[in-house]
Amino acid sequence: KEWALALHGGAGAISEDRPDSVKQAYFDDLDEALTIGEDILADGGSAEDAVEKVINYLEDNPRFNAGKGAVFTHDGEHELDAAFMVGNTREAGTVTGVKTVKNPITLARKVMETSEHVMFATEGAERYADKVGVERVDQEYFYTESRYEALQRALDQEEEGDGKQSSLIPEEDKTALYADGEKYG
């Protein structure tokens, strides 16, 4: 094969009990993301560009837990992680805990391409973002009502429970947003 591409937008306990229009919207968004990558690769573009642009689209799409539409932390913020790796050369770049980078995958690629290091975290990653000039946004950019409501339910359940941080989305969140119930991230 000259090229091949695969993408995902999260996994978990995804309810099939939703309106067809909602299901179709997800299918349409996945189809659009796939088309973006296909066009790049079919035109002879690089796998690096295809991967970055596909993920950029999904990051900008509020249905998915990345970029706009990212889930909330306990403190009501958004902390984003991303990683980028080229297998042939074993080059890699990653960022963790960034709060103002619109497209973390683009910053991760820049870490790979312009830094001698592999990972930058939190304030350091923000400073590196300043240096390489990726697009920045306020935390409000990442806000979605459904994610905010999911956090409130998680906090309520935590208060009623044993106080431990759960790695699983609370049970009631399974119906909060289509496919968002156990999209662990």
Partner 1 sequence: TVGAVAVDKDGQIVAGTSTGGMTNKKFGRVGDVPIIGSGTYASDVVAVSMTGWGEKIMRAVSGHTVSSYMKYKPASLEEAGDYLLQEVLNPGEAGMIAVDKYGNIYTDMNTNGMFRGSSDSEGNREVAIWD
Site for partner 1 in 81-120 (CB under 8 A): 81-88, 90, 92, 94-97, 103-105, 108-109, 118-119
Smallest separation (angstroms) from partner 1 to the CB of 90: 7
d(CA 97, CA 124): 10
What residues from 4 to 33 belong to the interface with partner 1 (CB under 8 A)? 4-14, 16, 23, 26-27, 30-31, 33
Element (H, E) at 94: strand 91-98
Distance from first CA to last CA of the chain, Å, rounded?
31
φ/ψ region of 140 (left if φ > 0, alpha if ψ in -120 to 50, else beta) reads alpha
Smallest separation (angstroms) from partner 1 to the CB of 58: 4
Smallest separation (angstroms) from partner 1 to the CB of 152: 10
Number of residues that bind partner 1 (CB under 8 A): 93
Size of the chain in residues:
185
Residues 34-53: x where in contact with partner 1 by CB under 8 A, - otherwise, as a string: x--xx--xx-xxxxx-xxx-
Query: CB of 99 within 8 A of CB of 172?
Result: no
1 lines the binding site for partner 1 (CB under 8 A): yes
Neighbours of 123 (CB within 10 A): 11
φ/ψ region of 41 (left if φ > 0, alpha if ψ in -120 to 50, else beta) reads alpha
3 lines the binding site for partner 1 (CB under 8 A): yes
Smallest separation (angstroms) from partner 1 to the CB of 140: 15
Which of 17, 140, 162, 165 is in the footprint of partner 1 by CB under 8 A? 165
